[in-house]
Amino acid sequence: MRRFWAFALVVGLPVALMPVGVLADSGTHTYALHMEGQNFGVAANGDHIAIDGLAEFSVNPKSVEGEGNFTHTDSGGTVKGAGTWRADELLNYQSYGCGIVHFPDGDVILEGGRATQLPVLRLWDRPLS
C-alpha cells in the first residue's frame, strides 16, 4: 500500500501543481492584423522589403484571409520588384497574451502574438516562382 501512495504522490503532485496556462485552449479565436504603415525587413546585404495590408485569421480551425502590397529595394534604394501579396495559409499562431491600452476615450483590450502565414506574392500582377 505504501508503494501505491508513493507512486500516486510522485505522479499526482506535479499534475496537481501544474499551471493552468500549460493546458491547451481548444476554443475558436479570430484575430485581425492591421499594417496601417509599411512594415519592413532588412537582409544582410542591405536589401529592404516593405509590406502593408490587412489580414484576418482564426485558430481552431486555422484559416486566414488577407492581402496587401510589397516593395523590394536594394541597399542603394533601387526598386528591384513590387507587387501584391495574398495570405494563402495560416501555418502557426503563438499568442503573447492580452493587455489593456489606455486611451482618453476609454480603455481597449488588445492581444499580441506571432502569426506565421504562407503568402502568395505577385510581382507586377505575375506570380513569383
| Cα–Cα distance for residue pair 43/110, rounded to 1 Å | 30
The pTM of this model reads 0.60
φ and ψ at residue 4, rounded to 5 degrees: -60, -50
Task: Using the Cα atoms of residue 28, residue 120, residue 116 and residue 56 in order, give the sign of their dihedral.
Answer: negative
> What ranges do the domains of the chain cover?
25-127
* Residue 26 identity: S
Per-residue pLDDT of the chain (129 residues; tens, 9 = 90+): 555 444 443 444 444 444 444 445 677 888 888 887 888 889 999 999 899 999 898 888 888 899 999 899 999 999 988 888 888 888 888 888 888 888 888 888 888 888 887 777 776 555 554
Cell 492584423, located at residue: 33
